[in-house]
Amino acid sequence: MPQHPKKKLGACAYKNYSVKTLHKALDASHASMSFCDASELYKISKSTLQYQLAGKNLNPPGCPTVLTKDE
Protein backbone atom coordinates (compact mmCIF):
# COMPACT_ATOMS: atom_id res chain seq x y z
CA MET A 1 0.00 0.00 0.00
CA PRO A 2 1.55 3.37 -0.98
CA GLN A 3 2.33 5.82 1.74
CA HIS A 4 1.02 9.36 1.67
CA PRO A 5 3.48 11.52 3.58
CA LYS A 6 2.07 14.39 5.60
CA LYS A 7 3.23 17.88 4.80
CA LYS A 8 5.42 19.53 7.36
CA LEU A 9 4.04 22.47 9.26
CA GLY A 10 4.86 25.66 7.37
CA ALA A 11 5.55 23.87 4.08
CA CYS A 12 4.81 25.67 0.82
CA ALA A 13 1.27 25.37 -0.42
CA TYR A 14 1.33 25.03 -4.18
CA LYS A 15 -1.36 25.70 -6.74
CA ASN A 16 -4.66 24.08 -5.75
CA TYR A 17 -7.00 25.84 -8.19
CA SER A 18 -7.72 25.56 -11.89
CA VAL A 19 -7.03 28.15 -14.57
CA LYS A 20 -10.78 28.66 -15.05
CA THR A 21 -11.17 29.46 -11.36
CA LEU A 22 -8.31 31.96 -11.56
CA HIS A 23 -9.92 33.71 -14.53
CA LYS A 24 -13.28 33.81 -12.74
CA ALA A 25 -11.65 35.39 -9.70
CA LEU A 26 -9.84 37.97 -11.85
CA ASP A 27 -13.06 38.83 -13.69
CA ALA A 28 -14.89 39.22 -10.39
CA SER A 29 -12.19 41.52 -9.03
CA HIS A 30 -12.36 43.59 -12.23
CA ALA A 31 -16.14 43.94 -12.02
CA SER A 32 -16.91 45.11 -8.51
CA MET A 33 -15.44 42.64 -6.02
CA SER A 34 -12.31 43.38 -4.00
CA PHE A 35 -9.22 41.15 -4.01
CA CYS A 36 -9.99 40.04 -0.46
CA ASP A 37 -13.54 38.98 -1.29
CA ALA A 38 -12.49 37.23 -4.51
CA SER A 39 -9.68 35.37 -2.76
CA GLU A 40 -12.01 34.11 -0.03
CA LEU A 41 -14.74 33.13 -2.50
CA TYR A 42 -12.49 31.28 -4.98
CA LYS A 43 -9.88 30.06 -2.43
CA ILE A 44 -6.95 31.76 -4.20
CA SER A 45 -4.42 33.88 -2.34
CA LYS A 46 -4.63 37.66 -2.65
CA SER A 47 -1.02 37.94 -3.78
CA THR A 48 -1.62 35.47 -6.63
CA LEU A 49 -4.53 37.56 -7.88
CA GLN A 50 -2.48 40.75 -7.65
CA TYR A 51 0.50 39.18 -9.47
CA GLN A 52 -1.72 37.85 -12.24
CA LEU A 53 -3.41 41.21 -12.68
CA ALA A 54 -0.06 43.03 -12.79
CA GLY A 55 1.43 40.49 -15.21
CA LYS A 56 4.17 39.33 -12.83
CA ASN A 57 5.24 35.76 -12.18
CA LEU A 58 3.54 34.29 -15.25
CA ASN A 59 6.15 31.58 -15.89
CA PRO A 60 5.88 28.18 -14.19
CA PRO A 61 8.32 27.53 -11.33
CA GLY A 62 11.57 25.68 -11.96
CA CYS A 63 14.19 25.65 -14.67
CA PRO A 64 13.15 26.02 -18.30
CA THR A 65 13.01 22.78 -20.27
CA VAL A 66 15.63 21.91 -22.86
CA LEU A 67 13.09 20.82 -25.47
CA THR A 68 10.27 22.98 -26.70
CA LYS A 69 6.66 21.78 -26.80
CA ASP A 70 6.94 21.23 -30.57
CA GLU A 71 9.94 18.92 -30.20
Q: Tens digits of per-residue pLDDT, 19-34?
A: 899 999 999 988 888 8
pLDDT for 63: 79
State the DSSP H helix or E strand holding residue 24, giving kind and residue range, or none if neither. Answer: helix 19-31
Query: Which amino acid, 20?
Result: K
Question: Of the candidates 53, 28, 58, which has an alpha carbon nearest to the alpha carbon of residue 43?
Answer: 28
pLDDT for 27: 92
Residue 61 pLDDT > 70 = no
Residue 9's pLDDT band, with cuts at 50, 70 and 90, is confident
pLDDT for 25: 92
Residue 1 pLDDT > 70 = no
Provide the CATH number for the domain formed by 17-71 in this structure.
1.10.10
